[in-house]
Amino acid sequence: MQSEVEIRIPAGHTEERKYIIDVLFSVFLGIPYRLVVDGQVADYHIRFEGGELVIRDKFWANEQGEPLAYLTESAFPKISFLRDCPFFPEKDIPVLYGEDEFIISERKIICGIDIFASSFFMLTRWEEYVNKTRDSHGRFPGEASVAFRNRFLHRPVVNEYVEMLWNILKASGYTGERKEQKFQLVLTHDVDVMKSVNPLRVIAGDILKRRDFKRALLHIPALFKDPVDTYSFLMDQSEKIGVKSHFYFMAVENRNNDYDTPYYLNTKKFRRLVWKIRERGHVIGFHPGYTTCRNEERWGMEKKRLEQVMDEKLTEGRQHYLMMEVPYTLRIWEKLGMKMDSTLGYADREGFRCGTGNCFPVFDFLERRVLGLYESPLVVMDGTLRTYRNQSCYQAMDIISSYIACGKKYNMPVTFLFHNSSFDRRMWQGWKKMYKKLFA
């Protein structure tokens, strides 16, 4: 049995410290530990047979008074990049909190980078509660984030910190083993549109209203096959590489906005599709509507409606339009019985909103507690690349390939979102071929 390490932490902000230490040591590394709150220490002391590692406390030590007093823009990190250190997994590393200090002796290493506060900042997303910038849908935009503005949104910085921590532990004399992590493709599909508009109406509009015969010709294939009916294609591709497709369905009955989609749960098409997904062993989840992110009652009504039609409990899913208000939306997910959310990716920018692709337990920084909910952060969405960033399918392929390579390098899951409606329609020409090539 692997011996545990002892981790001594300063007094103050104990719940926050306990959370991030558990995520890094238990969830990521799988190293058993014993935590001791010690009012006599000023830093994090990680002790084990053979040596000691000290991580400087460069954040909580400066935050005195009320536990939530740190929730201000003045507490945002001042980013620096350190280079050429043998402990870093890359040539450099973004430092959110801390400084360039490494003191190395025979049985002890002191590290000036506060990887605990830095990782806490990325995972909990308290930045988004403090920074009130919102887009036209009321979402926190990726371009407003510290990670994007400092050019490291494309890097899984929490995983980089974990690798750095592991390298320093080994150099300090730690002889235990770490948990094996594996790269995994997580392919998810939000079913916003179950069935296309009657193509005859579209073609008639092209000819009679828009006088655009060329455009009308492009819609003729829809007379023979609904372009959003790509469910079998998606399952076929997933099965070829040995993964499951995750289909997230909506249950908005009365539309009161332009962003929710028509109700489709009572249709024969929906029932046949659900039967096919179940038969083939793929996953079904919940896709709460546009107005639910702060509305617990509406959120619960939609979930209940979908579960009644499905005759099963649903435990995973994603908010429609990535409508997320941290931490309030996540509280709703926990309270109403969900186990895993996959909303935390940005609509306007691909990348690691939480600093990782790994699934991790959610921490409510206002209530200062770990929720009974895990986050599987979204990394790349089709609409981000095509709609927000106007990337061609060839450019998109290069971007997606880079995130797959990153996942493999860090033995990390990478979650992608491809809507069922993003392949055979006119504006998505070439994307089906690209999808086949990427996930084959």
pLDDT in tens, 7-33: 999 999 999 999 999 999 999 999 999
179: alpha, beta or left? (left if phi > 0; alpha if psi -120 to 50): beta
pLDDT score of 352: 98
How far apart are the C-alpha atoms of 227 and 51, rounded to whole Å? Answer: 62
pLDDT score of 207: 52
pLDDT score of 401: 98
- What residues in the chain have per-residue pLDDT under 70? 1-2, 196-224
How far apart are the C-alpha atoms of 234 and 221, rounded to whole Å? Answer: 19
pLDDT score of 200: 47
Beta bridge partners of 32: none
Buried b (16+ CB within 10 A) or exposed e, 79-96: beebeebebbbeeebbbb
Q: What is the DSSP string of 86-151?
A: TT-SSSEEEESSEEEEEEE-SSEEEEEE-HHHHHHHHHH-HHHHH-----TTSPPPGGGSHHHHTT
Is the Cβ–Cβ distance between 357 and 414 less than 8 Å?
yes
pLDDT score of 399: 98
Greatest Cα-to-Cα distance within the chain, rounded to the nearest angstrom: 82
Q: How many Cα atoms occupy the beta-carbon half-sphere of 148 within 13 Å?
A: 14
pLDDT score of 221: 58
Is the Cβ–Cβ distance between 203 and 219 less than 8 Å?
yes
Which tokens in the block code for residue 44? Answer: 């994090």
pLDDT score of 206: 54
Which residues have CB under 8 Å from 382's CB, separation 6+?
A: 396, 417, 418, 419, 422, 431
How many Å separate Cα 438 from the centre of its chain?
Answer: 20
How far apart are the C-alpha atoms of 178 and 161, rounded to whole Å? Answer: 15
227: alpha, beta or left? (left if phi > 0; alpha if psi -120 to 50): alpha
How far apart are the C-alpha atoms of 317 and 288, rounded to whole Å? Answer: 8
